[in-house]
Amino acid sequence: MALRNIVKLGDPILYKKSRVVDKFDEKLATLIDDMTETMYNGNGVGLAAVQVGILKRVIVIDVGDGLMELVNPEIIFEEGEQISQEGCLSLPNKWGNTKRPKKVQVKAQDRNGKWQIFTGEDLKAKAFCHEIDHLEGILFTSHLVEGETLHG
Ligand code: NI
């Protein structure tokens, strides 16, 4: 495993759409392992491949109850609403209150291509939404509640 550099705000890649993964090979496994190490090293709860400069639909999340690796993730259900502080490893030390669903269900493939269903509430729901947004080139700053500005 290796640490990778995290792309920061200002890099245009963060606004690009990531491509569907169709090869479940050793290169994908290495990317996932490196992303995991990079996320933990940065004390983040999630990371998308675009944040290490790779436009592939891959995210890793750990909100404190174990690592989740999601390839080609899609939100298939969402419910409710939450307003809470949100940040991003690509916007270091910047925070803002966002509005997100309270609960989401996500389908995704694992590193071998097997489909799984994940359910998340509260922080985990927010993490799913935040990381899947990255795959569309969307940052959490697009979800700030009305009147909110970033603070650090
Ligand atoms: Ni982020």
- Residues labelled as active-site residues: 131
CA of 76 to the centre of ligand 1 (A): 20
User: Read out DSSP for 59-88?
Assistant: EEE-SSS--EEEEEEEEEEEE--EEEEE--
Taking the C-alpha atoms of residue 99 and residue 111, their distance in angstroms, rounded to an integer, is: 31
pLDDT in tens, the chain (152 residues): 899 999 999 999 999 999 999 999 999 999 999 999 999 999 999 999 999 999 999 999 999 999 999 999 999 999 999 999 999 999 999 999 999 999 999 999 999 999 999 999 999 999 999 999 999 999 999 999 998 889 88
128 and 106 Cβ atoms separated by less than 8 Å = yes
The CA-CA-CA angle for residues 20, 130, 14, to 5°, reads 60
Q: In 10 A of CB 37, how many CB atoms?
A: 16
Q: For residue 4, give both structure tokens.
A: 């990778």
CA of 46 to the centre of ligand 1 (A): 7
